A = this chain, B = another copy of it.
Amino acid sequence: MRIPKHIGIIPDGNRRWASQAGLEKKDGYVHGLTPGLELLRLARQAGVEEITYYGFTTDNCGRPQEQVRAFSAACVEAVKLIAAEPVSLLVIGNTEAAVFPKELLPYTGARADLNGGGIRVNFLVNYGWEWDLAGLDRPGSDRKQIYRELHSHDVSRVDLVIRWGGMRRLSGFLPVQSVYADFYVVDRLWPDFQPEDFHQALAWYQKQDITLGG
């Protein structure tokens, strides 16, 4: 079985899930924590080498303050759960903005091997595509140079993006690393995550002819 080395995860649908459950929108995010941990364990078992979670973005911060506080708190909890696993963890995003959660600063800057190390896990927090591209310094058409100058330079090329919640768009997710990524959409909302979502995505990926644009 051909396993994608690096999977991007867009865990969308928390607010719709909350509304359907009769909750306030802000109360959906906390229901995405268990799925995130479950997915990590499935990815490790499958032999995936790297996984990137789309936590929250600079765009998201334009939402009502109570939602911003809620998804920020959920990201802090998610990173804590992941940090208790055998992982090689890096949190990536614009740490200079006030909205960046202080509790996550220790996980930024350099990747940390935790509990013996393991699968590379990137967690995007206050990430923006514009922030990622901000430092490009006339790299020329050298792809390696472009990669080196990204703020997300420690994130590899993405092979497969899986998005929950039915939307068929990247919403600013790692535009450079995702140029050749195959894109699989799960209609189920993220808090309703089922292991079969992941297994079906991997099964679909088997059937793709990977050309890297060639």
Contacts and interface: CB of A to CB of B under 8 A. Distances in A.
A161 to B, nearest CB: 9
Main secondary structure of the interface of A (DSSP, over half): loop
Contacts of A212: 59
A167 B168 CA distance: 13
Contacts of A20: none
Given A63-B214, A141-B128, A168 B180 contact: no
A179 B172 contact: yes
A176 B173 CA distance: 11
Given A60-B214, A139-B136, A180 B172 contact: yes
Nearest to A208: B167
Contact of A136 (B62, B136, B181, B211): B136
A39 interface: no
Interface string A118-150: 000000000011110111111111110010000
A169 B178 CA distance: 9
Contacts of A213: 57, 59-60, 171-172
Contacts of A46: none
A63 to B, nearest CB: 7
B134 A59 contact: no
Contacts of A35: none
A164 interface: no
Interface of A: 57-60, 62-63, 94, 128-131, 133-143, 146, 167-172, 175-176, 178-184, 208-209, 211-214
